Structure 1
Amino acid sequence: MAPDFVIFGAAGDLTSRYLMPALARLDESGQLPKGVTIRGVSQEDWDVDRFRRHIADRLATLHEDIPPGVVADLIKRLDYRQADVTNRDEVAEALGKSRGPVVAYLALPPRLFGPTIETLAGLDLPEGSRLVVEKPFGSDVESAKRLNRLLHESFPEQSVFRVDHFLMKATIQNVIGLRFANRIFEMLWNRDNIERVEITWDETVALEGRASYYDRSGALRDMIQNHLLQLLTLVGMEPPVTMSERDLRDRKVELLRAVRNFTPEEVERHTARARYAAGTVKGVAVPNYVDEPGVDPDRKIETFAQVTLFVDNWRWAGVPFVLRSGKALASDRHEIVVHYRPVPHLAFHEDHPQPNVLRFQLNPDRMSLGMNINGPGDPLDLERVELATDCCQQEIPAYSRLLLDVIKGDPILAIRGDEAEESWRIVEPILHAWAEGRVPMRDYPAGSDGPDLG
């Protein structure tokens, strides 16, 4: 039976900017089951018509490419109930008497995750109901453990979806296919052949009015703790026995457990932080981060973070994994880059040809392999070439695929509870050392390539 899709926090930006467009694309592709009801729940004193107008206006403003007919069909599906998520009776009334399972999507501020979970736990939800939690899942190891304990009191792990839309991108999933369906790559996927791995998410966008969230988070928590560490697991994990949910997530957790727990001295050597100063990005003036509306300079929140991690296991011992993310930079760069070691001996004219580089570009989706071949003239000269392919266009966007997995009840690409805890275990020593001032806060002009880390 098709589930009731209930969005808590339906009046917020996440719903109109991501969830509704994703549902519209599912509907457009014919993959949104006809029996699925979509109900918004929020504290706003709205009726159904007011909610529908709000969503229609936001889609028209933010997603002009969605055909009007598709938007109209989606709007007809929408229902709305006003409720305080901490009030059990109001939430019970908002849910109504569902005939099938309920998908409860918490599009809420993190501070409301715990109270909402407690409220839902006190209700007799139909069998097969599931709970969807956006990032951030906790703020440190202990808070993630508390949240997991609270979830598991009422929801089995199979019914909990800690979601990360990054893992739904075609190129990310192609990392798995490239590694485990091609002997030529997996045989070379180790410390003997790979010199370093770089995982980068550089953005030209600045704060864009998100101070209420970002100035309490920063680049390390917002990007590296969840998104980039998830990419690290797919690059570094051992081959799973099957592509089942359990086998795949077991391997991801094993990789995270092998990531070295930094001492304060290692944090000083292997991490960097910075925040943007005034500058120009794509011809638009950007103010100093500390002068942005809503920013508290005393919090010393970074807009750029770089962390070099080490995986202490047989496959990866000694290989640096460089994770980097920043805002208000010169260009958007979203990629995983695998740098191979140089050949041990070269009989050509060039003393230092470029080593092979395997690159996964995440937006647009593209894979390439840099190689050296004989030049057109002297056969002892080398020429650099790139073998590249554009990844097949996804049938539906990443967020739509995420919601489809939730509706189907397939948690294979959701984050398991122990994954979330291990991710905080890796990041927590860095946060502590930064709070103690062990790593200086650098500056970089908005529109530059980032801070000088030399």
Structure 2
Amino acid sequence: MTSLVIFGATGDLAGRYLLPSLARLTAARSWPPAFRVRGVGREPLDNEQFRKHAGERLDRHAADVPIDARHEVLNQIDYVVADVTDPAAVAASIRDLPTPIAFYLALPPSLFATTVTALAQAGIPPKSRIVLEKPFGSNENSAQELNRLLAEVATEDSIFRVDHFLAKQTVQNVLGLRFANRIFEPLWNAQHVHSVDIVWDEPLTLEGRASYYDRAGALRDMLQNHLLQLLCLVAMEPPRTLTSRDLHDRKVDVLRAVRALTPEEVSRHTTRARYTAGRIGDRVVPDYTAEPGVDPTRETETFAAMTCWIDNWRWTGVPFKLRSGKALGARRSHIAVRFRDVPHLVFGQHEEPAPNVLRFMIDPDRIELSMNLNGAGDPFDLEPACLDTDLAPQTLPAYSRLLLDILEGDATLSIRGDEAEEAWRIMDPVLAAWAAGAAPLREYPAGSLANDF
């Protein structure tokens, strides 16, 4: 790629993630010297005003990056005012850029289809790439329609449906631990695994994202894409290679095997809830419905949990529990693989020993294995022990890694079109059952712990 165009350059995604990623790549000298970056948006700003806006975002979200690298980004980026859904405006906004171009749609998902259509009519230069953020569509039908539209204007290997979770170090270490070590893979099945928990609890609230989040909710925002992708990495069969095609094929196999829940199962195996006013540490948090930009009549959930079952030879009967929530009192982000108890316990103690649990901790990156050992006193009493290791920080943070992969044409950490459709096939019955009242919307005070409700 010789140019990067960011549609929606003044939005939260660009300011919070893309501009800091550019600065980190600049500091790492990962850009070609003549690389061009252009922001495109509707806000009536000139170059100087946009660079001031971008500089403020870099100061806030990339303060750890050397100031020289931040200034270099500001010097190489320019800005064009354009309606990204207007083919003539899009064509004019890219006319003077060297090609091929990576088009990053840092936009609300509702604009994806019209922007892709405008791009196609404006003329997409050969070998260019199109990058879309999650969620990809709002249900299975819309994902299929968007895939059909993209297939008319670009080849699959030039379409990047990004999920920055897949670039996180601990997430990638799921593959390393499973497929580079003989010790775990023989136990990685229903005979030995009791359950798998995939959790992303966070104290953050809306952080100015109500215009998107209130139309999405926790199930669409987190479970449908991020957590299902983590489920794929835990449950997939060993791929022949870690190339894009082999990895995506095995992930799709998993998604196709995930059982769609019936309305009755939705009522028993899912939870939806919304935070009310409360306190997180020293911070007073208003009721979700009082947040600016929220429509209370939508009944948007800020907490979602569901249990999935994978109907295949390896995983039949093992519950995979997905959970994510906002405004919670503690940050928990991990994949926890709980192993079954031993078939016969020879120790005569009254209490059951703690289960063996392998945890992949995400942010900060850490791996833990809980086991039982003989106690220091009576050698026939068991005591829990934990083997753990902190992982060295990534050379490049997740978004920077993804951005570099896009420019290099490596789709391994992207999501293939059929993956997105299968993920919606799993979630659509839950959303339909919720809309029909199968699971009432609960409430929890901000600052609660997820295990309390």
TM-score bracket for the superposition, by shorter chain length: over 0.9
* CA-CA distance at 1:18 after TM superposition: 0.6
Shift of 1:110: 1.4
- Which residue of structure 2 aligns with residue 262 of structure 1? 261
**Letter in structure 1 aligned against 2:410:** D
Compared with structure 1, are the counterparts of its residues 209 and 42 closer, same or farther at alpha carbon in structure 2 (3 Å cutoff)?
closer
Alignment of 1:407-418 (within 5 A): 407-418=407-418
- 330-339 or 2-11: which moved more? 2-11
- SS of 2:327's equivalent in the other structure is coil
Using structure 2 for the length normalisation, give the TM-score.
Answer: 0.97
1:301 aligns with 2:300: yes
- Taking a change above 3 Å as real, the CA distance of residues 310 and 5 of structure 1, as seen in their structure-2 partners, is same
Cα pair 1:443 1:451 within 8 Å, conserved = no
Corresponding residue for residue 140 of structure 1? 139
Task: Give a deviation string over 1:265-312, Cα, whole Å, max 9, x none.
Answer: 111111011111221111222122222232222111111111000000
Aligned-partner residue type, residue 409 of structure 2: G
1:108 matched to which residue of 2? Answer: 107
1:417 shift after superposition: 0.4
Contact 1:92–1:123 (Cα < 8 Å) also in 2 = yes
The 3-state SS of whatever aligns with 1:20 is helix
Superposition CA RMSD, Å: 1.3
2:206 equivalent in structure 1: 207
| Structure 2 counterpart of 1:357 | 357
Deviation for aligned residue 1:223: 0.5
Aligned residue identity for 1:170: Q
Give the Cα separation in 2 of the matches to 1:23 and 1:281.
32
Give 3-state SS (helix, strand or coil) of 2:175's partner: helix
The one-letter code of the counterpart of 1:236 is: A
Q: Which moved more, 1:291-300 or 1:383-392?
A: 291-300
Q: How many pairs are equivalent?
A: 452
Equivalent position of 2:166 in the other structure: 167
Ranges of 4+ aligned residues in structure 1 off by more than 4 Å? none
| 1:421 paired residue number | 421
Q: Match of 1:239?
A: 238
Within 5 A, what are the aligned runs for 1:392-407? 392-407=392-407
- DSSP-derived class of the 2:196 partner: strand
Question: SS of 1:183's equivalent?
Answer: coil
Alignment of 1:47-196 (within 5 A): 47-196=46-195
Aligned match of 2:319: 320
Read off the aligned partner of 1:377 and give its amino acid letter: G
- The one-letter code of the counterpart of 1:353 is P
**SS of equivalent residue, structure 2 residue 116:** helix
Q: In structure 1, what residue type is equivalent to 2:18?
A: L
Q: Structure 2: any 5+ residue segments left out of the alignment?
A: none
Task: Name the aligned partner's letter for residue 404 of structure 1.
Answer: L
Question: Residue by residue, what CA displacement relative to the aligned partner does 1:218-275 show, whole Å, maximum 9, x if unpaired?
Answer: 1111110010001000000110011110000000011000000111111111101111
Pair 1:217-2:222 in alignment: no
Comparing 252-261 with 91-100, greater Cα deviation is found at: 91-100
Q: Distance in 1 between matches of 2:31 and 2:397?
A: 13
Matched, 1:434 2:434: yes
Rounded to whole Å, the distance in 2 between the matches of 1:150 and 1:72 is 38
Shift of 1:62: 3.3
CA distance in 2, matches of 1:218, 1:20: 26
How high is the sequence identity, in percent, across the aligned residues? 57
2:309 touches 2:320 (CA, 8 Å); kept in 1?
yes
How far is the alpha carbon of 1:92 from its aligned partner? 1.3
More displaced, 170-179 or 282-291? Answer: 282-291
Letter of the structure 2 residue corresponding to residue 260 of structure 1 = R
- 1:24 is paired with a residue whose SS is helix
Q: Return 161-170 or 349-358, whichever deviates more.
A: 349-358
Q: Is the 8 A contact 2:210 2:294 kept in 1?
A: yes
What is the distance in 1 between the residues matched to 2:349 and 2:188? 26
Q: Does the Cα contact within 8 Å between 1:4 and 1:37 map onto a contact in 2?
A: yes
| Matched position secondary structure for 2:407 | helix
Aligned to 1:230: 229
1:367 aligns with 2:367: yes
Contact 2:91 2:123 in 1 (8 A): no
TM-superposed deviation, 1:47: 2.0
TM-score, normalization: structure 1? 0.97
Question: Secondary structure of 2:72's match?
Answer: helix
Contact 2:36–2:97, Cα closer than 8 Å, also in 1: no
How far apart, in 2, do the equivalents of 1:211 and 1:41 lie?
Answer: 22
SS of equivalent to 1:215: helix
Give the whole-Å Cα distance in 1 for the aligned partners of 2:304 and 2:126.
43
**SS at 2:124's partner residue?**
coil
| Structure 2 counterpart of 1:286 | 285
Asked if the contact 1:343–1:355 (Cα under 8 Å) also holds between the matched residues in 2, the reply is no
Partner-residue secondary structure (3-state), 1:196: strand
Rounded Cα–Cα distance in structure 2 between residues aligned with 1:415 and 1:60: 31
CA distance in 2, matches of 1:97, 1:4: 11
CA displacement, residues 131-161 of structure 1 (integer Å, 9 cap, x when unaligned): 0001111000000000000000010010000
- Structure 1's unaligned 5+ residue stretches are none
Amino acid corresponding to residue 158 of structure 1 in structure 2: D
